Amino acid sequence: MLAKVEEVVLQDKLIVSSSPHIRSNESVKRIMLDVVIALTPAIIGSVYLFGLNALKLILISVASSVLSEALIQKLFKRPITITDFSAAITGILIAFNLPASAPWWLPVIGSAFAIIVVKQLFGGLGANFMNPALAARAMLMTSWPVHMTNYTGTRPDVVTSATPLSIMKYGTGAELPTLRDMFIGNIPGVIGETSALLLLIGAAYLIIRKVIDWKIPVFYIGTTFIMLLLLGVEPKLLPYHILGGGLILGAFYMATDYSSSPVTPLGRIIFAVGAGVLTAIIRIKGAYPEGVSYSILLMNVATPLIEKFTKPRVFGKVK
C-alpha cells in the first residue's frame, strides 16, 4: 500500500486528475515512514508466528525492491528516490503476500517485477495504474502456484497446513481454528495477513494520522460481508471470511494506494464496493478460495473510468 502519495512525483509532465487538488504539506518520505511504522507490529508478529524465515523473506524482498528501484532509475537517468521508503514498503508488502516456506528467489523476482515493470516503466511513484505488490503477487501466483500456496502453520507446528478459507472452500475435513486464534494470527497463511489484531493496530495509526481514508476499507469490508450473506454463507462462518485471508491487509494497506485508487470521495466508495462484490464472488463462486488481490487489481484498472463519472462539475461549464 503506497498510501497518500503526492501525485506530483512525475518528473516529465504534470497530469491533472479529478479535484480536489489540495494536498498535504507532508513529504512523501514522512507519509511512507508512517506506513512503515504502521506495518511494524505485523512485521514483528510475523517473525514471532512464523520464525526467522519470515524475517529472511522480508529482508530479501525489501533489499530487492530498493536495489531494483535504484538500478532502473539510474538506467533511465532519473533521480534516485530509494530514501523515500516507497520501494521498501513495496518490498514489505510483497513479503507479506508470501508463505513462510517460500524460496528466497521468489521475493527477488516479485520485487523486480513490481518495481521495474509495474512502477517505474509507467513513470514511477504516483504514476503506476495498479498496486505493484498486488500485481507481483498475481504474477507469482500464476507462475509458481505451488510455492505460493505452500502454507505452513505457526510455530512450533511449522508444517504444511490448510488455511481457514481453504477448509471452508474445499471441505478438507480439518477443523476450523477458534476465532481467537484467527484474530491474533495463530493460523496458517501468508506471512503478513494472519494477524488481524496487529494489522488493525497499524490501520488505526494510519487513520489517526490521516494517511488513509477510512471509506475504502470500511466500504470494502462491509460490502464483502453483505455479499457473502447474499451468496448463502452461513452467518457463523462470516467472521472467518473477514478475519481470514488477505481482506484486512488488502482493505487497509493496498486498496488505499492513492496512485491506483480514485481521488473523489464517491469514487472511493464505488471502488470499495466493487472490490467487495468481486472478492465475495471469487471466494464463493470461483475456483480459488481467495479473491482480494484480483479484486483490487480489477478495480485499479477501473479507476480511470470511475473518476471520469465521479469528478465534480466545473462551475459554469455547459455540457
For residue 92, give the 3-state DSSP assignment.
Answer: helix
Domain ranges (residues) in the chain: 28-310
What's the pLDDT at 18?
45
Question: What Å distances lie between residue 7 and 67, 177, 236, 258, 312, CA to CA?
Answer: 23, 43, 43, 8, 18
What's the pLDDT at 316?
55
CB atoms within 10 A of CB 159: 10
Q: Are 188 and 163 in contact (CB under 8 A)?
A: yes
Backbone φ, ψ for residue 3 (5° rounding): -85, 150
Fold (topology level) of 28-310: Ammonium transporter fold (1.10.3430)
Dihedral sign (CA 247, 253, 256, 260): negative
Under DSSP, the state recorded for 188 is S
Q: What is the pLDDT along the chain (319 residues), one digit of tens a residue?
A: 544 444 444 343 444 444 444 344 458 899 999 999 999 999 999 999 999 999 999 999 999 999 999 999 999 999 999 999 999 999 999 999 999 999 999 999 999 999 999 999 988 888 899 999 999 999 999 999 999 999 887 655 555 678 889 889 887 667 899 999 999 998 989 999 889 999 999 999 999 999 999 999 999 999 999 999 999 999 999 999 999 999 999 999 999 998 899 999 999 999 999 999 999 999 999 988 899 999 999 999 999 999 999 988 765 555 5
What's the pLDDT at 17?
45
What's the pLDDT at 311?
85
What's the pLDDT at 152?
82
Does the pTM surpass 0.85? The reply is yes
The closest of 164, 144, 130, 147 to 275, measured between CA atoms, is: 130
The closest of 154, 142, 211 to 1, measured between CA atoms, is: 211
